[in-house]
Amino acid sequence: MTVADDRRARVAAEQYTLGTLSFEEALTHTVGHPIERATVAGALEYLASLSALQPQAALSQHDTELLDDAGFTDDGERASFAVALGRTHTMADLRRTALTASDVADLLKVKAPRVRQLTSIERKLWALDDIDKRGRLYPKAQFTDTGMVPHLDHILPRLPQTMHPLTVNAVLTQPREDLTVDGHPASVVEFLTSAATGKDLPDVLEVVERATSLG
């Protein structure tokens, strides 16, 4: 966090305490982009589920590690809310930027039945479990401007079907030390798009297997 970011966050906190900013406005000022009421509501629902499953609202090991990596060392309610808000915002962003089934058909130049087959039978396309007013949604990370991320159709079928969408997204988009592009850690998607050839696929599959076993 920069000095300017820190000052902006402190001012927002003070204004919220004084009642001159709503909670959503204070969050928006703090993070630098709009936070909608639905995002906060989703975070609260996640916190409620934590309380139901874990009476002390303890963070999972996965979420604790995410907080540590991001520089949050506090535990308790502040850390729990940070995780809840982050998870909810990421899910909202996954849905907002996702492609519809029609978009996917156009991008891949196939008919709707083929999209359904790739999704439900072959599992070579990743779709979110729930269906909203736009229909079935396909997270954008798996696509390039011209089609599927190369070789990803060999990886998606190997992911556990019960894996949470946020975990799938992290597996595909978080930089990995074992994958590099121009000497820098790269995500699975970045590596497959920028540097991978068919002979690299076993190595990528091994990285994905390690990531999913940890998730």
pLDDT of 176-194, one tens digit each? 888 888 888 889 999 999 8
Given a cut of 70, is residue 144 above it in pLDDT? yes
Given a cut of 80, is residue 135 above it in pLDDT? yes
For residues 23-52, average pLDDT:
64
Given a cut of 70, is residue 110 above it in pLDDT? yes
Q: Is the dihedral of CA 162, 165, 171, 172 positive or negative?
A: positive
Given a cut of 90, is residue 149 above it in pLDDT? yes
DSSP annotation of 145: S
Given a cut of 80, is residue 16 above it in pLDDT? no
Residues in Cβ contact with 76 at an 8 Å cutoff, skipping those fewer than 6 apart? none
> Cα–Cα distance between 125 and 138 in angstroms, integer?
8
Q: Which two tokens stand for residue 93?
A: 């962003």
| CA of residue 34 relative to chain centroid, distance | 18
Q: How high is the pLDDT of residue 213?
A: 75
Measured between alpha carbons, how far is residue 25 from residues 16, 28, 93, 178 in Å? 8, 5, 18, 40
What are the backbone angles phi and psi of residue 188, rounded to the nearest 5°?
Answer: -60, -45
pLDDT category at 100 given cuts 50, 70, 90 is very high
Share the mean pLDDT of the chain.
77
pTM of the model: 0.64
Question: What's the N-to-C CA distance of the chain in angstroms?
Answer: 27
Instruction: Name the packing angle between helices 201-214 and 165-173 (round to 10°).
Output: 140
